[in-house]
Chains A and B, each alone.
Chain A
Amino acid sequence: MKYAGKKVITMIITLFAVTLFVFLAFHFISGDPATSMLGTEATPERVEALREEMGLNDPVLLQYGRWALNFLKGDMGISYSYRMSVSEMVADKIPVTVTLTILAFLMMVVIAIPLGIYTAKHVGGVIDRIIYMINQVIMAFPPFFAGILITLVFGRILKLFTPGGYVSYQKDFFGFVGYLIFPAFAIALPKAAMAVKLLRSSVISESKLDYVRTAYSRGNSTKAVLYKHVLKNALIPVITFLGMALADMIAGSIIIEQVFSIPGLGRILLTSISNRDYPVVMAVIVCISLLVLVVNMVVDIIYGLVDPRISIE
């Protein structure tokens, strides 16, 4: 309980730091939301009147304080560009990015764990070597490049999906998930390759330890030793990696959303940055950092569950 309390406080401080940093960053880049809103209709008088109306003439810290206070009250404000409620906008897009990340994570686990165990069991075999080689190549792929290749191979050549044929989850949930499969695959692939390699070497090094010999000497079969003893220990570093990978995937989906034209949090974030639409940028950043922080906390807890020796106190 004490631990959880501590964690929450750290989380709040981190969030506070992230938002303040982002808020200040906007004051150092050129471009101004009022000018952006008025476009070519901007006259100095109209820009000034609009800045005053939006409170942009106040000191930066005052603006930040006002934003933070409203945010704590649950009011994320109104989008400068869309003039609609930010919470509504973000709530509409969160399911997209979350579904994409979860799909990618599941794919990574489903690909990496069996392959990792398999290659560890057959170290030095032909299949192990082939997988090892493929792994090396895939690891070098940045997700966006994997995305382009996947679009080309599965979309244009094999025609398994229509590039750009995104369907909203509100309209057709299965069509929506179907469209996300390939983008998720693009995110999962490089991470899965890393996980395979990690699990393989982790299992191999565990197998050389004394307790494994003891387990064998007690008359256990190879299968029992692997699944009951070795795997339990070998998974600990992999879980840490999976946690980090999940957090990284949330960020990675921002890029993949561009490649596959998926209107999720990432798309909103990028366009809001170029529109200088601060309320939306802030809200999206808070959402993404919150997701990352929560994932990290969950990983910490699972860590303790898997290995009771690691005390979270």
Chain B
Amino acid sequence: MKRKGLKSLLMIFVLTTLAIALTGCSGDKEAENSSQITIGIPQDVEESLDPHKMVAAGTKEVLFNLFEGLVKPDSDGSLIPAVASAYEESEGGKVYTFTLREGVKFHDGSLVTAEDVKFSIDKCADTSNGGPLVEAFSNIESVTIKDASTVVITLKEADTEFLAYMTTAIIPASNTAADTNPIGTGPYKFVSRSPQENFIMEKFDEYWGEGANIEHVTFKICANADSIVMDLEGGSIDMFPRVTATQAAELSDNFEVLEGTMNLVQALYLNNAVAPFDDVRVRQALCYAISPQEIMTIISDGKGTELGSSMFPAFGKYFMKELNDTYNQDTEKAKALLAEAGYPDGFSFTITVPSNYQPHIDTAQVLVEQFKAIGVTAEIQLIEWDSWLSDVYQNREFQSTVVGVDASNLTGAALLQRFVSDSSKNFINFNNADYDTALANAIASTDDAEKTKYYKECQTILSTDAANVYIQDLPEFVAINKKYTGYEFYPIYVQDIAKLKLADEQ
């Protein structure tokens, strides 16, 4: 009797559990037919949603879909008119005149006015908070509204690359809650955000241009890297930008894996101000010690693009492939340089690596092995991203670090300006007078060929001076369910969701 009671109690428990679990499973598939997509992202959009204040690459790549500047980048790297329908550059790159596109609407339904444009640019040029939000805007002399649809920007110094900064988002002056309620002019509008859970946006029907194809887009936070394949196969996400080579190999036929590059400069960044890396011979020795090819073979099946300086191929005319050969692996040469520098028996140092990014950790591990061959002992120290930001990036208290440095826009300066000796972003303390001159010349020059020449000179100096041990531009694998097509890679760190469409709509 009692035994029976116990049994039925257990039975009821098991059955309810199963019933609820099964209903839970079927819930995932409800929206299969409506036009929607769930995209997994590894990090949350955990900062201000004000496009001028956001700093994390992970936020920018998502918010790219909500905002547009006067011009916007295209997938081939060129700038196309957006909020402005036309622009004119005059006085050798000193005056820029923008004609606003007619009928462009913000997500709240109001029309974009010349005042909104001036407000947005002035806001980014404002220096009252310790510096302008967009560094290049310190060069702006004035922003004037010529008439209701013409805005003129006058610079202090001519800058022929200035247009690249005009991708700065145009936002309505009337929005007082920009931190949490983003309003822009992009093909998607903001719906909601739930911390550590998701970021939801939907198609903006009154978009001025061609607009988006998929109605509802959910970015789901997939913090657990080990379960990404399961998430994709199980259907809880349809797409994941940046799966690893191993994960890509595990995916079934339902998924397509597209290969691109991450567009960043991965290197062993060396603190040029501390011993032993204040000696150029030691830095060169490390460059001779490593083989980027071997690193790529080990960490990503040989995928990736070798780099020899702070520039990656997406920049086209500025990229110098020949710098890959400045240092080819040569342990004898490396040892000789070390002996010359006073370290015949090698030395030991620490590689600080942010713990949230596996490819950098893997790379550091291969580097440690490669340095052993020249008698140098490297020790890996993993630290949290926030500690990295404050200790390494801000306070520059480190010996070396493996990270990837990306470009916020497509000007040569975006990657190269940080190595000017007095730049606040020069976290490696690189100091070379020739470099400073070459970069200043590059920015000042209004002739394209001359500009390219100076930028190339900068890269050559970084390479011959062995500012850092340059490694590669990491491969990027985008896993996407075959239900969707149209994914396009960009030379900057963004995910353009508007280009995606359902496969059967073609």
Contact = CB atoms under 8 A, between A and B. Distances in A.
Interface of A: 30-32, 35-50, 53, 79, 81-84, 89, 92-93, 110-111, 114, 118, 121, 151, 155-156, 160-168, 172, 174-179, 181-182, 185, 223, 258-259, 261, 263, 267-268, 271, 274-276
Contacts of A185: 17
B148 to A, nearest CB: 33
Given A43-B131, A47-B130, A261-B222, A36 B20 contact: no
A118 B10 CA distance: 12
B22 A178 contact: yes
Contacts of B50: 83
Given A31-B387, A45-B130, A47-B394, A162 B25 contact: yes
A46 to B, nearest CB: 4
Closest 4 CB pairs between A and B? A178-B24, A49-B130, A175-B27, A39-B55
Given A81-B47, A165-B28, A178-B25, A36 B386 contact: yes
Interface of B: 2-3, 6, 9-10, 13, 17-18, 20-25, 27-28, 44, 46-50, 55-56, 129-131, 179-180, 193-197, 221-224, 227, 230-231, 234-237, 384-387, 389-391, 393-394, 424-425
A274 B235 CA distance: 30
Q: Give the most central of B2, B130, B425: most A CB within 10 Å.
A: B130
Contacts, number: 179
A37 B131 CA distance: 15
A45 B131 contact: yes
B13 to A, nearest CB: 5
Contact of A263 (B130, B197, B394): B197
A177 B6 CA distance: 25
Contacts of B28: 162, 165, 167, 175
A162 B26 CA distance: 10
B169 to A, nearest CB: 15
A114 B394 contact: no
A177 B56 contact: no
A275 B131 contact: no
Given A49-B130, A161-B25, A172-B27, A35 B386 contact: yes
A164 B179 contact: no
Contact of A40 (B3, B44, B389): B389
Contacts of B227: 151, 163-164, 261
A155 B25 CA distance: 10
Q: Give the most central of B47, B196, B222, B231: most A CB within 10 Å.
A: B196
23 contacts: A31-B390, A37-B48, A38-B55, A40-B55, A45-B424, A46-B130, A82-B195, A92-B194, A92-B195, A151-B227, A160-B22, A162-B230, A162-B235, A162-B236, A167-B27, A168-B197, A172-B27, A174-B23, A175-B24, A175-B27, A175-B28, A263-B196, A275-B386
Contacts of A110: 9, 13
Contacts of B25: 160-162, 165, 178
A164 B230 contact: yes
B17 A181 contact: yes
A164 B224 contact: yes
A174 B23 CA distance: 7
A182 B25 CA distance: 12
A243 B316 CA distance: 66
Contacts of A38: 55
Q: Give the most central of B27, B49, B385: most A CB within 10 Å.
A: B27
A107 B385 CA distance: 38
Given A44-B394, A163-B234, A267-B223, 9 more contacts: A31-B386, A32-B390, A35-B393, A43-B130, A81-B46, A82-B195, A165-B236, A172-B27, A179-B24
Contacts of B394: 35, 42, 44, 47
A177 B24 contact: yes
